[in-house]
Amino acid sequence: MFGLPNACVLKFDEEYHSLEDYHGRVARWCPGCGDNGILTAVQRLCRDEQLPPEKTVFVSGIGCAARFPHYMKTYGFHGLHGRALPTAQGIKIRRPDLNVFVNMGDGDCCSIGAGHWLHAIRMNMNMTALLHDNSIYGLTKKQASPTTPQGMITNTTPRGAQLKALNPLSVTLGVTNASFVAQAVEWLPDLLYDVIRQAHQHRGFAFVRIIQRCPHFMTEPFESLLANPDRLLLLKHENGMRISDVVGRMYKSQTEHDPADLNRARELVEDPDRVPIGVLYRNEAIPRYDELRRPQRIVSVDRRRAVLDEAFDSFGIFPQDPEETRAGSGGQSGDRENRGHR
């Protein structure tokens, strides 16, 4: 405003955003669906961070999780199956002022959009990507996804899924330029909230895998993790997830893990017996594509004119002084009448 940076302007009309201000349409997920808990955690985050709704965009693909933007009262882009990440990148490339969140299911991210996933990690643009991983295709009614446990009976694997499940965390931690990797489960809301909060505050591409249940089609690994809470390994660190006393007393399986330690993070996610919960890796020193490609200057119309003129000059032909017209352009007096359009 009037050339002043926004931060210097006292906004008299600035309003406080309550939780309800982020409530969009009424969610139509099934009762018991893990997506409900994720929605609540994200709305809480928006309120606590006071994210301006008009400066916040939720981008999704297709699937149950992809309905997420409709249930937020912000801007949203409910696009195509698998294409949430490149769409979000396009949204962010010229809009550093926007808070960009991406909601993907396991089919969206790890199957049809897997190529984009790798490159989004490598590009490290500033956004928060939430993988709603319920290990099944829900919206299309129970087909195996890349993260479906081996042996699981689904409509496309009636004799059990043949392949071992893909590990989204080991993939993410293996990609060049991974800068924030975390894991949460939707049924521990405080931990989920804190992991998403840290992801949002990270400057770079923050990837959070959220293990969630699908009450209709996939109760694993939810049920076995609920039955064996010690399989959840809470990651403790002063730079990591906040663990309240109550949660700490309930989930005693904990380990000290420095999010700067990439090798340990890789080991933790490969442990077949434990499910690490918390911030696995964080590195804000990794360059961001949105920063690298940021315009170096504000471009005026005159500047654009100058650049075009320079380009035209480099390809230009200019009228010559007739006196200087050189040999070869001899027959200038040629018959103009005969010079039709060729």
Partner 1 sequence: MQTVEAYNRGQRTDLQPEGPDAEGAPAEKVDEHIVEIISDSGEGAQTAGQMFATVSAKMGNGVWTVEIIPAEIEPPARSIEGASGNRVRLGASTISNSGDAADLVVAFNDQVLLGRLPAGEFKRGAIVLLESKWGDHADKRIAAEYASVVKRLRAEGYRPFEVPMEKECAQITEDAQRGKNMFVAGMLAYIYSRDVDLFRDQIATKFRKKGDVVVGVNIGMFEAGYLWARENMDVRFEIAARPVTEPQVVINGNTAVALGVVASGMDVCAMYPITPATSASHYLSDIFTSVGGVVHQAEDEIAACAFALGASYAGKCAVTITSGPGMALKTELMALSVMGEIPLVLIDVQRGGPSTGLPTKVEQGDLLAAIFGTPGDAPKIVMAPATIEDCFFSIITARKIAETFRTLVIVLTDANLATGQQAFRRPAFNEEWVAPPIDQTPIDEGHAPFDWDPRTGLSQRHIPGQPGGLYTLTGLSHTREGGVAYGPGVNQEGCRYRSLKIAAFQKTLKPPEIFGEPEGDVLIVGWGSTKGAIEEAVERAQGDGLKVSSLHLTFLQPMASGIREIMERFKQVITVEINYSDSLEDELIDEDNRRYANLAWLLRARYLMDIDCWSNVHGQPMKPGAIENMIRERIQWLRGQ
Check: CB of residue 180 under 8 Å from CB of residue 205. Answer: yes
Q: Which stretch binds partner 1 (CB under 8 A): 47-55, 165-173, 201-209, 231-239?
A: 47-55
How many residues touch partner 1 under the rule CB under 8 A: the total is 73
Is the CB of 87 or the CB of 135 nearer to partner 1? 87
- The one-letter amino acid code at 113 reads G
Pairing of strands 275-282, 180-185: antiparallel
Ranges within 309-328 binding partner 1 (CB under 8 A): 309, 311-312, 315-320, 322, 325-328
By CB under 8 A, is residue 47 in contact with partner 1? no
In Å, how far are 5, 14, 56, 97 from 10, measured between CA atoms?
11, 9, 21, 19
Ranges within 276-315 binding partner 1 (CB under 8 A): 293, 295-299, 301, 303-305, 307-309, 311-312, 315
Is the CB of 164 or the CB of 336 nearer to partner 1? 336
Q: How far is the CB of 68 from partner 1 (least distance, A)?
A: 9
Is the CB of 162 or the CB of 332 nearer to partner 1? 332
Tokens at 66, concatenated:
């992809």
Is the CB of 273 or the CB of 312 nearer to partner 1? 312
Ranges within 77-136 binding partner 1 (CB under 8 A): 77-80, 83, 85-95, 97-98, 115-116, 118-119
The single residue among 57, 110, 144, 169 that binds partner 1, judged by CB under 8 A, is 57
By CB under 8 A, is residue 76 in contact with partner 1? yes
Check: CB of residue 290 under 8 Å from CB of residue 125. Answer: yes
Is the CB of 252 or the CB of 293 nearer to partner 1? 293
The single residue among 11, 20, 26, 54 that binds partner 1, judged by CB under 8 A, is 54
The single residue among 17, 23, 47, 73 that binds partner 1, judged by CB under 8 A, is 73
DSSP 8-state assignment for residue 167: -
Is the CB of 31 or the CB of 340 nearer to partner 1? 340
Q: Give the C-alpha separation, 135 to 112, whole Å.
A: 14
Tokens at 337, concatenated:
């009448």
Check: CB of residue 124 under 8 Å from CB of residue 172. Answer: no
Give the number of other Cβ atoms within 10 Å of residue 10's Cβ: 5
By CB under 8 A, is residue 72 in contact with partner 1? yes
By CB under 8 A, is residue 249 in contact with partner 1? no
Q: How far is the CB of 293 from partner 1 (least distance, A)?
A: 5
Ranges within 183-242 binding partner 1 (CB under 8 A): none
H or E stretch covering 106: helix 106-107
Ramachandran class of 250: left when φ > 0, alpha when ψ lies in -120 to 50, beta otherwise: alpha
Q: Give the C-alpha separation, 342 to 340, whole Å.
A: 6
In Å, how far are 42, 226, 290 from 300, measured between CA atoms?
39, 59, 21
**C-alpha closest to that of 107 among 133, 128, 125, 141:** 133
Is the CB of 252 or the CB of 303 nearer to partner 1? 303
Is the CB of 127 or the CB of 192 nearer to partner 1? 127
